[in-house]
Structure 1
Amino acid sequence: MKPSHIATAVSTLIQIRQPTFLWGPPGIGKSQVVRQTADAMGLELIDIRAILLDPVDLRGIPRIGDDGTSTWCAPSFLPRSGTGVLFLDELNAAPPLVQAACYQLVLDRRLGEYTLPEGWAIIAAGNREQDRAVTHRMPSALANRFVHIDFSVDHEEWLTWAEAHDIAPEVTSFIRFRPKLLHDFDPERADKAFPSPRSWEFVSRLMGGGMEKSMLSELVAGTVGKGAAAEFCGYVTIRHQLPDPESILSAPNLVDVPTDPAVLFALCEMLALSADSGTMDALLTFASRLPDEFSVLLIREAARANNRIVETDGFARWAEDHAEVLM
């Protein structure tokens, strides 16, 4: 299930207080979706890293009362009132005894003398066993207490998120060019670094660090792996060698059209950022000189950058001429 569908499903499951478990490989944004969903619903989020807990950390420490009987002092991080989401991250990476301590909390919403407030829902997440991350097989008794959702990566949704979170344009344009490299994780490989939504966000931060090219290349390789880094750095080099968009927009009939697909892709991504009502005619003129797939790419990305252009007569004519491609 892709992130937008997961967010919708999780919000519904939160409302009916149904415990939910999100499964997926490392670095794809499971925790982020839970946090964003809670924020969108105006709910408090308590993020508990189950892998860091001992069994006693959840149940609490026993205390002898005045009458000689013992009671359990629940930990302070468990909620006492209000509404929110109790997020048990990396639950299946926790030792079996910690998972066992979650049985009662997940199913009965109780833990010894502690009771989870009515307004709180439980969401858990973890990596799959085939990802070869640190995991312990979840006991069937605990697994049966959850609705299980498999998390998949969708590059279009990630790009929408990236544009709203100021991810470097070099990164977003590269992912549009090589969408399969948004997440390329193979548990059989021994690589310490691999491409993932999380690691590309790290690359975006590196792009704004002002480092020299050789150092930047090494750091990118240490973030997304050598193969993806080589492709990315090569793409960035091409992108930075492209002509000024103003020269293309001022003479769209005279500029030579590149033949290299990578150069064309980078050029379309860069030109799209210049889209407005004043440049639309020039963009359409240049788009008419491109192969159909790149003409569609240029105008689609221009509309993404400035959706007001879809109201222009020029866009209407272009859409009519390219109706077969757009269908």
Structure 2
Amino acid sequence: MKPSEIVNALATLIIVEQPAFLWGPPGVGKSQIVAQVAAERGLTLVDIRAVLLDPVDLRGLPRFDDAGRTVWCPPSFLPVQGRGILFLDELNAAPPLVQAACYQLVLDRRLGEYELPAGWTVIAAGNRETDKAVTHRIPSALANRMVHLDVDPDLEDWLTWAKRAGIDARLCAFLQFRPRLLHAFDPKRNDKAFPSPRSWEFVSRILSAHPSALTLEALLRGTVGEGAAAEFCAFLRQYSSMPDADAVLANPGGIHLPEDPAVICALCESVARKAAEEVMPEFAVLASRLPVEFGVLLMRDAAAIQPSIVETEAFRGWACANSDVLV
């Protein structure tokens, strides 16, 4: 399931407080999906890295009550009020004894004297056994109490998120042109670095620091691997020759447009971020000069950034003129 479908599925499961387990390869964004669901629904997120725990960390420490009996003091990170998501990340990477300590919490919403308050849902996540990550098999008794969802990377979902998150426009344009590089993880290889939604986010942060070309290339190799780094660096060199977005909108009918498809894709991404109702006539002129697939890309990205533009006369006129490719 793509991330947007996972978000909808989790929203349904939260209503009935049904535990779920998200499966997916490294870097696909499982943790970010859970955080997004919590933020959108106004829920508190308690993120517990099960792999870092010992069994006693969940049960807590014993003490004597007034009657001289032993009772357990639950850890402070377990919620006692409100509504939220108790997220057990990397659960299947935790040792079997830690997983066993989670049984009662997942199955019965209890752990010794502690009881998970109403309004809280347990969600777990982990890598698949085929991903060559450190994993332990989830016992069938525990697995049977959870809804299992497989997370698959999706470029359109990632681009939607990237525009909200302020990811570098050059990176978005590159991945639109090379979508297979969004997530290129091969468990059969021993690569230390590989392209993934998470590592591309790291790339965007690196770009914001404006390193030298030589330093950037070395950092990219260590972030997304040799092949992806080489392609992206070549793309950046082409991108540097692209006309400025403001200059394009100042003269959309006369400015020289690039011929390289990768650079045209980058130009569409850059100009789309300037979308506003008052410049839609210029957008329509530019879209009419571009190859039809790039004209659609420009207008689609512009509408995603500024939805109100679809009500303008310029957008409607362009849509009517291109109705044959929009249906």
Q: TM-score, normalised by structure 1?
A: 0.92
Q: Which runs of 5+ in 2 are unaligned?
A: none
Q: Residue 66 of structure 1: CA displacement?
A: 5.7
Residue 136 of structure 2: aligned partner: 136
Alignment CA distance shift 1:249-1:11 (3 Å): closer
In 2, distance between residues paired with 1:170 and 1:181?
A: 14
Q: Secondary structure at the match of 1:82?
A: coil
Residue 42 of structure 2: aligned partner: 42
Percent identical? 60
Residue 178 of structure 2: aligned partner: 178
Residue 204 of structure 2: aligned partner: 204
Query: Does the CA-based 8 Å contact 2:174-2:262 persist in structure 1?
Result: no
Q: Secondary structure at the match of 1:288?
A: helix
Q: Residue 288 of structure 1: CA displacement?
A: 2.6
Residues 1:90 and 2:75 are matched in the alignment: no
Query: Does the CA-based 8 Å contact 1:29-1:197 persist in structure 2?
Result: yes
Residue 218 of structure 2: aligned partner: 218
Q: What is the one-letter code of the residue matched to 1:109?
A: R
**Number of equivalenced pairs:** 327
Per-residue Cα deviation, 1:187-217 (whole angstroms, up to 9, x for no partner): 1111111111111111111111121111011
Q: Residue 65 of structure 1: CA displacement?
A: 4.8
Q: Secondary structure at the match of 2:156?
A: helix
Q: Residue 183 of structure 1: CA displacement?
A: 1.3
In 1, distance between residues paired with 2:52 and 2:190?
A: 25
Query: Does the CA-based 8 Å contact 1:31-1:89 persist in structure 2?
Result: yes
In 2, distance between residues paired with 1:280 and 1:120?
A: 46
Q: Which runs of 5+ in 1 are unaligned?
A: none
Q: Secondary structure at the match of 2:13?
A: helix
Q: Secondary structure at the match of 1:88?
A: strand
Q: Residue 277 of structure 1: CA displacement?
A: 4.7
Residue 294 of structure 2: aligned partner: 294
Query: Does the CA-based 8 Å contact 2:194-2:223 persist in structure 1?
Result: yes
Q: What is the one-letter code of the residue matched to 2:216?
A: L
Q: What is the one-letter code of the residue matched to 2:43?
A: L
Residue 272 of structure 1: aligned partner: 272
1:47-126 alignment runs, 5 A limit: 47-65=47-65, 67-126=67-126
Alignment CA distance shift 1:98-1:238 (3 Å): same
Q: Secondary structure at the match of 2:289?
A: coil
In 1, distance between residues paired with 2:316 and 2:113?
A: 66
In 1, distance between residues paired with 2:233 and 2:140?
A: 46
Q: CA RMSD in A?
A: 2.1
Q: TM-score, normalised by structure 2?
A: 0.92
Residue 166 of structure 1: aligned partner: 166
When structure 1 is superposed on structure 2, of 198-207 and 265-274 the one drifting more is: 265-274
Q: Residue 118 of structure 1: CA displacement?
A: 2.2
